[in-house]
Amino acid sequence: MIDKLAFIEIQDKKVLVARTRGRNVYYLPGGKRETGESDEQALTREIEEELTIKIDPASVEFYGTFLAQAHGQPQGVMVNMRCYAGLYSGEIAPSAEIEEVAWLSYADREKVSEVDKIIFDDLKARELLD
């Protein structure tokens, strides 16, 4: 089981995604918790490292937890994704291992990892994505 956190940012009914160098799919930005970190601490650290923005920890709201086959891992290796939304300051820009950021609609669902497809379905069902 891979335990990950993700940041959900929606603008104009599109969701922010990132693509890591050398990968062929997009992911919701985020990452893994370091020892002793809370979800909020890990999320704010990962997002600042990846996208150069600062999430306001007081604004972080839990969105949901999603489980699916982990992309690029052997069959049966699952990812447990805890998703959060929140306010941020700064300009979104790719940093560290991130090669590209994009805003995707539901029509772009096939461009994302398996767990993100489930999240896209949920966002669509809540009428947050076009």
Structural domain boundaries enclosing 91: 2-125
pLDDT given for residue 125 in this prediction: 98
Residue 9 belongs to some domain of the structure: yes
pTM of the model: 0.92
pLDDT given for residue 96 in this prediction: 83
Residue 130 belongs to some domain of the structure: no
Residue 14 belongs to some domain of the structure: yes
Q: What is the CATH number of the domain that holds 60?
A: 3.90.79.10
Tally of domains within the chain: 1
Asked if residue 50 has pLDDT above 90, the reply is yes
Residue 40 belongs to some domain of the structure: yes
Q: In what order do the strands lie in the sheet with 2-7?
A: 30-31, 2-7, 78-85, 61-69
Residue 8 belongs to some domain of the structure: yes
The pLDDT > 90 percentage for the chain reads 91
| HSE-up of residue 98 (Cα within 13 Å, Cβ side) | 23
The residue count of the chain comes to 130
pLDDT given for residue 35 in this prediction: 93
